[in-house]
Amino acid sequence: MSAYRPASPESVFTYGAPQLKFGAGAADEIGYDLSRTGATRALVVTDPGIAATGTPQRVADQMSRFGIEAVVFDGVHVEPTDESLRHAVEWARANGPWDAIVAVGGGSSIDTAKAVDLLITNPGDLMEYVNKPVGGGRAPEHPLHPLVAVPTTTGTGSESTTICVMDVLSLKVKTGISHVRLRPTLAVIDPALTLSQPPGVTAASGMDILCHALESYTARPYTTFERKRPEERVPYCGANPIADMWSEKALTLLAESFRRAVRDGSDEDAREKMAMAATFAGMGFGNAGVHIPHANAYPIAGRVKDFHPKDYPADEPMVPHGMSVALTAPEAFRFTFDASPERHRRAARLLDPGADEPGDPAEFLPGVLTALMRDIGIPGGIGAVGYDEGDIPDLVDGTMKQQRLLATAPKDVTEDDVAGIFRRSLSLW
């Protein structure tokens, strides 16, 4: 169990989730759903790649039958930056007023829609709301407009979380805004929209699902924190029985569908299970939190040199979020094993029910993870996306800035620990 011994242990955990509609055809009902809120002018937020599939325009057209004028903005940057978010906000402020926002896309589109919604309903600049110490940590005073989130990837779970992630270009750091008011009003998960995801996106975003489930399941238990006062409560409370349930189920769904969805994108059953896994993992980590692999992912993505992943826009180098999270996950879980051996073993068993448990139980989860990563075409370590030994101090520095995430790790994490995880992740196989 955890090494933490609080003087006055926490006895309360919380659970939050948006309203949710799930299933093939669910996206055809958004006009009706929004009309119930009294909306008359909706902004549909998406990126150019998803716009090219025709889905965002279809969603917009269907709203007009309910007296809602819908306008598509397709200027989302894949993996948003502070600059791209500001651009979207300026566009929305100049072309408003709006009384509803509909995000159609992956985490990039949904997070951009959250920032737009925040800043057309509340005054000030983006950085005032960004988490401290990078930003001002300001809380929105006014309620946001209804936000309907329609994921087209199977990954982030952003449709159920309170977070907006961005790359702050001048600081080469990924951070975010986190507040309950950012949680979408309604999540519409329609697996039919995910069929066009290319295999590279399915693999990377699927690793994001998997790490959300694994990290929240192995997170520091909520009872090991010091007791909070009501006004101090945050959406992330550490591993807890409700989040555990979602994470376990997400792992089982991934076991049944992940390899299949990457191999054959038209496999509707696999796509539906992946969509369910993404949603379930989102409900888990959105309340428990994530830890070391996500903390490491931020500098891995933020300091990218010249890596161009298959199936992503080719104009800029990038390490996609799910890939950046996956690359140090096997080593991170080798490191956290002794904080909760049973949880690590159970997670490996759920993810690969047929696997033989190795003699050293600490190797079980890393082994199952690397076998999966190899099968679905994830690069074999941070070396394969362009980093070498000499980059490790900078990467460690970036990770240590993610104290909000490291606080959820099931044991204390020192700079040396993180350096060791990065070093052993240079080449995973």
List residues near Zn ion by CB under 5 A. 208
Strands 186-189 and 69-73: unpaired
**Could you tell me the smallest distance in angstroms from the CB atom of residue 299 to ligand NAD?**
13
Does position 202 interact with ligand NAD (CB under 6 A)? The reply is no
Indicate the residue among 205 and 240 with the shorter CB distance to ligand NAD: 205
Please answer whether residues 298 and 173 qualify as being in contact, where contact means their C-beta atoms are separated by less than 8 angstroms. yes
Does position 163 interact with ligand NAD (CB under 6 A)? The reply is yes
Please answer whether residues 125 and 79 qualify as being in contact, where contact means their C-beta atoms are separated by less than 8 angstroms. no
Nearest to 252 by CA among 198, 214, 195, 203: 214
**Could you tell me the smallest distance in angstroms from the CB atom of residue 115 to Zn ion?**
17
Does position 155 interact with ligand NAD (CB under 6 A)? The reply is yes
Indicate the residue among 108 and 328 with the shorter CB distance to ligand NAD: 108
- For the chain, what's the residue count? 429
Nearest to 254 by CA among 187, 190, 203: 203
Task: Give 150's strand partners.
Answer: 104
Please answer whether residues 152 and 104 qualify as being in contact, where contact means their C-beta atoms are separated by less than 8 angstroms. yes
Does position 108 interact with ligand NAD (CB under 6 A)? The reply is yes
DSSP for residue 78: S
Q: Which does 193 bind (CB under 5 to 8 A by kind): ligand NAD, Zn ion, none?
A: ligand NAD
Does position 208 interact with ligand NAD (CB under 6 A)? The reply is yes
Rule CB under 6 A: choose which of 30, 39, 63, 78 binds ligand NAD: 78
Q: How far apart are the first and last CA of the chain?
A: 30
**Could you tell me the smallest distance in angstroms from the CB atom of residue 214 to Zn ion?**
11
For tokens 């080593």, name the residue.
331
Is the peptide bond prior to 366 cis by the omega test (within 30 degrees of 0)?
no
What residues from 88 to 107 belong to the interface with ligand NAD (CB under 6 A)? 105-107
How many beta carbons lie within 10 A of that of residue 323, not counting itself? 26
Does position 47 interact with ligand NAD (CB under 6 A)? The reply is yes
**Could you tell me the smallest distance in angstroms from the CB atom of residue 225 to ligand NAD?**
21
Does position 140 interact with ligand NAD (CB under 6 A)? The reply is no
- Torsion-angle region of 305 (φ positive above 0: left; ψ -120 to 50: alpha; else: beta): alpha
Q: Which of 108-116, 122-130, 269-277, 407-415 is the region at the interface with ligand NAD (rule: CB under 6 A)?
A: 108-116
Rule CB under 6 A: choose which of 84, 152, 175, 399 binds ligand NAD: 152
Q: Which does 78 bind (CB under 5 to 8 A by kind): Zn ion, ligand NAD, none?
A: ligand NAD
Q: What angle is formed at CA 326 by the lines to CA 221 and CA 304, rounded to 5 degrees? A: 120
**268, two tokens:** 């509707």
What residues from 50 to 69 belong to the interface with ligand NAD (CB under 6 A)? 50, 53
Binding site for ligand NAD (CB under 6 A): 47, 49-50, 53, 78-80, 105-109, 111, 152-153, 155-158, 161, 163-165, 193-194, 196-197, 201, 205, 208, 312-313, 321-322
